[in-house]
A and B are shown apart, each in its own frame.
Chain A
């Protein structure tokens, strides 16, 4: 592939340029760089000469004044927003006349979360186990300790968002995608690539983190693939024989065409919630940036992996686009991984909305769906690391929030919803690489924070019903805070679910709930007579809060109705009863609103 040779004033200047762009260290003071770095090499004050290594004609995507560009090549097409497709034999001069230039035919070099450099190791982990699902369990929890399993509140989905996974395709036959309401459509493939499935595995792994039944966040999604990497073929319906298979990723020009195809769909039907997940990156391309920006302005939510090269995220498209929701990776101990791209300019940012790197999600040794060609391992699942797998977890959250709305087509609103419901200051930044605003961990708003209590059969104890009323505010046992943030106008209706019909028949007149506030008042059950051999009767129920989108229930709440005949031993009877609640008395959870 054609390059330009850039000579710098010193070896150190050449080395600095190489470091900035994550290139191999130069031997001297010159570097051979790809065309997409041409405008940066031209603009670099320490670069003294630029030499085109061949004199043949190339096709470029250049941004600048048309008349000026025409002095150095032939305009092939006007791409809009000041971009032109230009053929030129003097690319260096064209670069000097451009504010941005890319070789349109050069294949994309995947820098971040690279398709060609994944860390993939075989694992015998069970995808249904808590250990296998640690990534999604982490973001279904807020502060530690974590909920032991991924359990959701009952949610009414008001819509089914479209999630575009721009990647190497998806193997929709993978067991991780079977048996749910998930829909997967092979929607778009760049030209000259075999269209069906996934021949590499990265896309399948990424998809599993967003919409997998064991590993993902939600299945109430219509997934549409945008396949940008695969096996070269002259007929997209025919997979070449294995010996003839050549893997290729899309060119800059092809990526832009794919985004144009999506934009056309958005324009045709603007009311649908759409999210695009990009677990890849290319060297910053102003042209692709403009394509993504147009999509976001049209209402598509762009979620990008920050990248795994430890370089400045602002050097990468699409992660470096300010409006993109850009996701870094944390490990199992809530610490950002060492491979994350960084964002030095974010230290000056004064609002979370202005960050280049916005938030974090698990992305280190996470379990993903696996296909045979991905790495050297076998089996349906493997363990992987990379921001590639953090981004789709947040895409899954975006799908959940989209599902709870009807036609959420505002990227700014979606981004704000995701950032504002994230868990703040739960991560440990070991040095000043990241700033306070970035200490934000994605959170699944429909997660049930009481899941651990329920799973351990932990109960909330109100006390003993005697002369004085027992009063409890259900809000002390329910967490509506995330829902309230997202939907402040929703009306919450509180109610009680009785567990045992016999108990309900006896005690429902004495347990009164204010449906507007959630305050429960328990009065003495004067009309209930207990059997002679019963010193205490446990009255159990569950509190419920409902909106038109979600139903949130408490763990079991109980109180004791005492038999007056046992008043002398009431204290010890209560104590013994409490210790029997779950082996030791500590396994009862105590309500905050005791009287």
Chain B
């Protein structure tokens, strides 16, 4: 695996106060051919055999007074997401503290997720930037990025603030690691861009880690003429010290009336 590091040297053109410049790690040739093929087959199989048992966060909206309300939703541009795990859905997660969450999370992952995905997580557990602070980074969510023909992902920040304990205006230590299962073809879209204009063109068997909670980014439309979906999967990592862990599920901020 080859690792490259890139840091944007200019702040966001419009949102300097509430964002950070892009901090990007690129990991090339992550797996050998055999393991990569397994990983791709596994992701495709899980999509094709979409299991109702997995958590569904898309479609989590309802209409009221002509206003679309988002509860804990993730429905963007009708883009489907299949969530492979999300600790905020697990009651025991909310009982953890910063001292326990790391061990709890990794044990839970070993027990509950696809072994290839666990292997993937362990592959990146000790790589920069997570490897700079060992036994601290918690993968809290993973989903398959399935961008159908003509769909895009508008400019956004990853992760909702409610999972962090950082003060308003201070960015949590969080990373979004995306692993790509297809090659970019010039002119066919599916590129990741930042608000400042940095563009990443996906390559299969390549991963990128960005400070997605702090840098405005999006994905332009998938214009693959054969209408194949753009396929990748993302894991969101958060430093244990920056997770909001109230110690009991009933103390979760999600009890709050966020929608009013």
Q: Which chain A residues have a beta carbon within 8 Å of chain B's beta carbons?
A: 141-147, 333-335, 423-429, 431-432, 436, 439, 449-450, 452-453, 461, 463-464, 466, 468, 476-479, 481, 570-572, 574-576, 578-579, 583-587, 589-595
Contact = CB atoms under 8 A, between A and B. Distances in A.
Contact of B56 (A145, A146, A571, A592): A592
18 contacts: A142-B53, A145-B85, A147-B53, A334-B114, A335-B115, A425-B45, A426-B45, A427-B115, A439-B38, A453-B53, A464-B63, A575-B259, A576-B257, A583-B249, A584-B249, A584-B255, A590-B58, A591-B56
B51 A571 contact: no
Nearest to A482: B49
Contact of B88 (A335, A481, A586): A586
B38 A428 contact: yes
Given A333-B110, A335-B115, A468-B63, A145 B258 contact: no
A334 to B, nearest CB: 5
Given A426-B114, A584-B254, A590-B60, A143 B54 contact: yes
Contacts of A574: 62, 64, 69
Main secondary structure of the interface of A (DSSP, over half): loop
Given A143-B114, A424-B49, A426-B114, A583 B38 contact: no
B255 A579 contact: yes
A333 B109 CA distance: 11
A587 B254 CA distance: 11
Given A143-B114, A468-B63, A571-B259, A587 B58 contact: no
B46 interface: yes
A145 B254 contact: no
B258 A575 contact: yes
A584 B94 contact: yes
B112 interface: yes
B6 interface: no
Nearest to A475: B52
B128 interface: no
Contact of A450 (B53, B65, B88): B53
A333 B115 contact: yes
Given A584-B94, A589-B56, A449 B115 contact: no
Given A334-B115, A439-B38, A587-B91, A423 B60 contact: no
Contacts of A593: 59
A158 B252 CA distance: 50
A481 B51 CA distance: 10
Contacts of B258: 575
Contact of A428 (B44, B115, B249, B254): B115
B61 to A, nearest CB: 7
Contacts of B41: 424-425, 436, 439
Contacts of A576: 257
Given A428-B38, A586-B89, A575 B119 contact: no
Interface of B: 34, 37-38, 41-42, 44-46, 49, 51-65, 69, 71-73, 85, 88-89, 91, 94, 110, 112-116, 118-119, 249-250, 252, 254-255, 257-260
B53 A585 contact: no
A373 to B, nearest CB: 34
Given A334-B115, A428-B119, A449-B51, A590 B254 contact: no
A335 to B, nearest CB: 6
A144 B82 CA distance: 13
Nearest to B48: A424
B174 to A, nearest CB: 19
B63 A449 contact: no
Contacts of A571: 64-65, 69, 259-260
Nearest to B248: A583
Contact of B62 (A424, A431, A584, A594): A594
A372 to B, nearest CB: 33
A461 B72 CA distance: 13
Given A145-B85, A592-B58, 15 more contacts: A333-B110, A333-B115, A333-B118, A426-B45, A436-B41, A450-B52, A463-B62, A464-B62, A466-B63, A572-B259, A575-B260, A584-B91, A584-B252, A586-B72, A590-B56
B73 A590 contact: yes
B69 to A, nearest CB: 7
Nearest to A436: B41
Nearest to B43: A425
A463 B38 contact: no
Contacts of B57: 590
Contact of A583 (B112, B118, B250): B250
A376 B250 CA distance: 49
Nearest to A453: B53
A436 B37 contact: yes
A132 to B, nearest CB: 16
A295 to B, nearest CB: 33
A477 B53 CA distance: 9
A424 B118 CA distance: 17
A113 to B, nearest CB: 24
Contacts of B252: 584
Contacts of B69: 571, 574
Which 4 A-B residue pairs are closest in the complex by CB-CB distance? A428-B115, A425-B45, A463-B62, A590-B60
B254 A579 contact: yes
Contact of B52 (A429, A464, A477, A585): A477
B257 A592 contact: no
A583 B255 CA distance: 8
B131 to A, nearest CB: 23
Contact of B53 (A452, A481, A578, A587): A452
A570 B64 contact: yes
A429 B63 contact: no
Nearest to A580: B255
A594 B61 CA distance: 8
Contacts of B254: 579, 584-586
A354 to B, nearest CB: 19
A197 B126 CA distance: 55
A552 to B, nearest CB: 11
A589 B115 CA distance: 25
